[in-house]
Copies of this chain bind each other. A is one copy, B any other.
Amino acid sequence: MSLLLPGHRLELGPDAPLRLDCGVELAPLTIAYQTYGQLNADKSNAILICHALTGDQYVAETHPVTGKPGWWEALVGPGRILDTERYFLICANVLGGCMGTTGPASTNEATGQPWCQSFPVITIGDMVRAQLRLIDHLGIDQLFCVIGGSMGGMQVLEWAARHPQRVFAAIPIATAARHSAQNIAFAEVGRQAIMADPDWCGGDYPLHGRKPQGGLAVARMAAHITYLSEAALHRKFGRNLQGPELSWGFNADFQVESYLRHQGSTFVERFDANSYLYITRAMDYFDLAADHGGVLANAFRGTKVRFCVISFTSDWLFPTAESRAIVHALNSVAANVSFVEVESDKGHDAFLLDEPEFHATLSGFLDGAAEHRGLPRGAPR
């Protein structure tokens, strides 16, 4: 599939392996990415956008598989919040993904076969390591900003913690410095749904021409509920029926059932089941405090990065308390941090939706940071 996907590729050869947290040296490696806008002369206007679990690099264009608009298309463009006349935007498919960057569905050059379950378990840190290679390749010393929601926000935090000199400003949105027990639990349900599907074949489904679509669809359905809020589900669907009356059976009687089934069945067309396993695992393993002696503040000691931490009131997957823990850690090391809890009933998915207070927050913070960084409005010079 990856050969047909549009966009840029960075190929890292066998001589430049990526040393992963698990100890494996991964090479060769492909990083698939998109860019928008132009890099300025001193390469100071680059914004790295980090995508979420099931997102990808097609931020602001028609998706090559689904034909739908890019997931942050509303934010990206001339004069928009992520202003393509001012900034150079980069988004790479994460390591372990299935949209062109090397992942479990990619071919292991050593065997000529897809990696499948022999692909090494990766971490958020490994994803960021791969992105760092890309940033190096593009000749960018310091990113003006790293921004992302959900798992994208974890990458933002990892960038700021591990590579603070490479980041001027960081915007972690609807995220956490670690995956909570409840989040691990939901991730595990999704993985069990996939692994219980006989078509998963112990992970070797590509070798048998099969796909664990039933299991992957169930995983997506369960996860999708966690992306919304009870209020949003009530507002969108309530107990509305799909047809004129109850079917007295197990069809999708209720609109919410039909919606969920649709979410499941369309997801399997664009996502690889093993990628789902690896990427959720990377989220589970993420624990920034544990990586820094058990104290989250240690991750940011001495940082000069400017932070804007954003959460949403109705997000119960990454609730405000998680953002507040990040802010407390940043405050305790006297970091430069803004924190906004946006009032919204849209749940976790609010970061992908039209939420005026959220957009105003982004806009205000970016404008201020850009001024400090000396980035003029208008076309890059």
Contact = CB atoms under 8 A, between A and B. Distances in A.
Given A181-B236, A184-B239, A192-B261, 9 more contacts: A181-B230, A182-B233, A184-B257, A188-B221, A189-B222, A192-B221, A195-B250, A196-B215, A230-B316
Nearest to A261: B192
Contact of A248 (B120, B188, B195, B264): B120
Contacts of A225: 182, 185-186, 189
A128 B246 CA distance: 20
A267 to B, nearest CB: 13
A230 B182 contact: yes
Interface in A187-233: 188-189, 191-193, 195-198, 214-215, 217-218, 221-222, 225, 228, 230, 233
Interface residues of A, number: 56
Contact of A260 (B188, B264, B277): B188
A180 interface: yes
A98 to B, nearest CB: 17
A233 B185 contact: yes
Interface centre among A117, A233, A319 (most CB of B within 10 A): A233
A277 B249 CA distance: 10
A238 interface: yes
Nearest to A193: B218
Interface of A: 22, 117, 120-121, 178-182, 184-186, 188-189, 191-193, 195-198, 214-215, 217-218, 221-222, 225, 228, 230, 233-234, 236-239, 246, 248-250, 252-254, 256-257, 260-261, 264, 277, 281, 284-285, 287, 290, 316, 319
B217 A196 contact: yes
Interface centre among A178, A248, A254, A284 (most CB of B within 10 A): A248
A186 B222 CA distance: 7
A22 B188 CA distance: 37
